[in-house]
Structure 1
Amino acid sequence: MAYDEQLEARVNDLIHARPGVIERKMFGGVGWTLNGNMAVGIMRTDHLCVRLPPEEVDEAIRAPFVHEFGRPGAKPMKGFVLIEPAGLEDDATLAEWIERGTARALELPAK
């Protein structure tokens, strides 16, 4: 299953403004890391996965188009949310999610 290359291009335009970003294939999609920590990724073909502080996830999933990230029927991954394509239509919203994910990745110890 391929991922959304248009979304990848949009993310690239926004995230590569930061130094030290590394893009790599992961989980059948693509992810961007800072200091070895995933910040954001494209999963399930066209959904954006964003790393957040775990205490912010409950509030984030109250927003439209935002869900906990994890396999169906399994416990969600702590500190990650998944945003549907409808929640990523405008570049300003996408930029906000990328900023949140990169900020969290930079808070973590380097790997």
Structure 2
Amino acid sequence: MARDRELEDIVRADLGFRAGLSEKPMFGGLAWLLDGHLLCGASRQGLLVRLGKGNDAFALAIDGVGPARMGQRAMEGWVRASPEACSDEVLRRRLIGEAIAFVDTLPPK
């Protein structure tokens, strides 16, 4: 995966400042962690978002959003929004907000 600096800047702005938030190059893109837990990632493939097992049905029903895959295996609780879907500000911010809400339920690492 190649990095998408424009999407990275947009996601960074959407996330704003939050205690415990960090960035790390990962999976050929840029990932954000919250209190040590992977939250989301941006690359030329779009936005990878952690919603948690059983919390992704609403997202999977949206055009341009599908299950995230590691090789052939779908990663349960993770979705990938296509670059086109990422251009929808309301959708992108909702996905990021839902990811934050889920990761906030996890104990800090």
- TM-score greater than 0.5 by the shorter chain: yes
Instruction: Tell me the equivalent position of 1:15.
Output: 15
Residue from 72, 78, 81 that aligns with 1:80: 78
Q: How does 1:30-109 map to 2 (within 5 A)?
A: 30-43=30-43, 45-72=44-71, 74-109=72-107
Please say if residues 20 and 36 of structure 2, whose CA atoms lie closer than 8 Å, have aligned partners that are also in contact.
no
Q: Percent identity?
A: 30
Q: Which runs of 5+ in 1 are unaligned?
A: none
TM-score by length of 1: 0.87
Query: Which whole-Å deviations, capped at 9, do the CAs of 1:19-51 have from their partners, x for residues lacking one?
Result: 2210101111111011111111114x2410010
Counterpart residue identity of residue 107, structure 1:
T
Instruction: Tell me the equivalent position of 2:26.
Output: 26
Please say if residues 33 and 105 of structure 1, whose CA atoms lie closer than 8 Å, have aligned partners that are also in contact.
no
Shift of 1:70: 0.9
Shift of 1:69: 0.6
Q: Which runs of 5+ in 2 are unaligned?
A: none
Number of residue-to-residue matches in the alignment: 109
| Runs of 4+ residues deviating >3 angstroms | none
Q: Say what the alpha-carbon RMSD is for the aligned residues.
A: 1.5
TM-score by length of 2: 0.89
Counterpart residue identity of residue 68, structure 2:
F
Counterpart residue identity of residue 17, structure 2:
A
Please say if residues 40 and 102 of structure 1, whose CA atoms lie closer than 8 Å, have aligned partners that are also in contact.
no
Higher strand share: 2
Please say if residues 7 and 46 of structure 1, whose CA atoms lie closer than 8 Å, have aligned partners that are also in contact.
no
